[in-house]
Structure 1
Amino acid sequence: MSILERFPALIFDFDGTLIDSAPDIALGLNRLLVAEGRRELPLSDVHQMIGDGAGRLVEQAFAATGAALTPAELGPMTERYLAIYGALPVDRSCIYPGVVETLTALKNAGHRLGLCTNKPAGISVDLLRDLGLDALFDAVAGGDSVARKKPHPDPLLFVMERLGVGAGGAVMVGDNANDVAAARGAGVPVVAVAYGYPRMALADLGADIIIDRFADLPGALARLG
């Protein structure tokens, strides 16, 4: 059985897997924090906050500077952050090495590609377009596409339904424990990249395979198959 026959659908996380978005996320957060009279956060701190969605990101950023946002404050503050982040100019150099070439080869080989991120769907679609990656993807789920974000399997199942595959025909590719948990919940094997924002030891992620470079993905899929 070929890799395409075994895994017709390949589903990817965004931040820390396809793009190094942490510098722009930190820039947007720090502009918001400064506007609110808070101190800026170093990039290393922001790395540890990425992956749980925009609301949790903003909540953690304010908590790290000594300010606890109330539920009534969090929604509007998150919207302000998203407006700042969404207005930042897009630099295609944020795409990790090997991503464009590997995704293009997999797409041309017949795989259907999906994006499953905790980023809001609208911003994710806009970012894919601005990065020139939109034509490669057949389905997108953001953190607001379904009621529950990763680590729940719901957004992954959402993408799989739109790609027309069940658990036996998909692979999840991500960088942190949320991706692994979502894949396990959906009954899907998972490949983790070693260069992202894992927030824990790579050996503890529980992925089926860990790859050092995105270009190693086809080989990992062959091993899984």
Structure 2
Amino acid sequence: MPQTPDRSPAPPPQAAWPAAILFDFDGTLIDSAPDILTGINRLLDEENLPALDLGQVHQFIGDGAPTLVTRAFAATGRPLAPDSVPAMTDRYMAIYEALPADPSCVFPGVAETLAHLCAHIPLALVTNKPERATHAVLQAIGLNSYFKAVVGGDTLPTRKPHPGPLLHAMAQLGAEPARTVMVGDGANDVTAGRAAGARVVCVTYGYPRMPVEELGADRLVDHFHELPAALLDLSVG
């Protein structure tokens, strides 16, 4: 009996893919806001301050833990003195890192798409979340094996929107900026990507503090599984 011919589409040529992809974490790969809210509110409760709501915390995420803590205390009407921010941030991180990471925080389509992409392209995570907490969450939710490099908000003296973390990740992956794509959800990702010389794709479901259409990304994706098609459409390989 003759065999049925294989009608599955051929994989795209290697040259069609970017040389490397850098990913933001919070709001791009995971919905971390509920855990961040829990951690911040426990800290505020220890200080006899009122709790925040999820909408407020969405607006505070993305610029690193010290800025998150500073904004949270300001929102309660009791702003922190600058010299007290480091110690209060340490207290917040101790609370946050003690929370069990829930694998359900991973946005739909992320694990499957990362598994597909890492078969073709080296991937890195570039986040403003502290590096130790980032590694812990990645391990707990089962995404750690997809990334060849992780750059946290305290890995270098600079963090996004500075291009330094992106350039550091590119160097670790051996990729040129012009052949690299940054995938994120906010202005920091677009600004850092542009300054680093990379192309930028933004997801539309994250935590931007302005309309995502106004961020200036090269492509927008409404669902993470749309990312491979957007990457091939960019033709930066």
Q: What range is the shorter-chain TM-score in?
A: over 0.9
Equivalent residue number for residue 44 of structure 2: 33
Question: Which of the numbers 48, 67, 80 marks the counterpart of 1:56?
Answer: 67
TM-score, length-scaled by structure 2: 0.92
Asked whether the 8 Å contact 2:73–2:79 carries over to 1, the reply is yes
Q: Which has the larger radius of gyration?
A: 2
Asked whether the 8 Å contact 2:190–2:215 carries over to 1, the reply is yes
Alignment gaps of 5+ in structure 2: 1-11
In the alignment, the residues of structure 2 paired with residue 37 and residue 4 of structure 1 have an alpha-carbon distance, to the nearest angstrom, of 57
TM-score, length-scaled by structure 1: 0.97
Equivalent residue number for residue 3 of structure 2: none
Alignment gaps of 5+ in structure 1: none
In the alignment, the residues of structure 1 paired with residue 88 and residue 169 of structure 2 have an alpha-carbon distance, to the nearest angstrom, of 29
Question: Which of the numbers 131, 134, 151 marks the counterpart of 1:141?
Answer: 151
Distance 1:211 1:60, change over 3 A: same
Cα deviation for residue 90 of structure 1 reads 1.1
Equivalent residue number for residue 208 of structure 2: 198
Asked whether the 8 Å contact 1:58–1:74 carries over to 2, the reply is yes
Equivalent residue number for residue 159 of structure 1: 169
The letter for the 1-side match of 2:138 is L
Question: Which of the numbers 69, 72, 97 marks the counterpart of 2:108?
Answer: 97
Asked whether the 8 Å contact 1:120–1:143 carries over to 2, the reply is yes
The letter for the 1-side match of 2:178 is G
The letter for the 2-side match of 1:154 is G
In the alignment, the residues of structure 1 paired with residue 182 and residue 14 of structure 2 have an alpha-carbon distance, to the nearest angstrom, of 14
For the pair 1:77 / 2:84, whether they are aligned, the reply is no
Cα deviation for residue 8 of structure 1 reads 2.0
RMSD (Å) for aligned C-alpha atoms: 1.1
Asked whether the 8 Å contact 1:3–1:221 carries over to 2, the reply is no
The letter for the 2-side match of 1:161 is A
1:167-202 alpha-carbon deviations (Å, 9 max, x no partner):
122100000000000000000000000000011011
The letter for the 2-side match of 1:123 is A
Asked whether the 8 Å contact 1:7–1:170 carries over to 2, the reply is yes
In the alignment, the residues of structure 1 paired with residue 64 and residue 42 of structure 2 have an alpha-carbon distance, to the nearest angstrom, of 18
Matched residues, number: 224
In the alignment, the residues of structure 1 paired with residue 42 and residue 15 of structure 2 have an alpha-carbon distance, to the nearest angstrom, of 45
Asked whether the 8 Å contact 1:4–1:111 carries over to 2, the reply is no
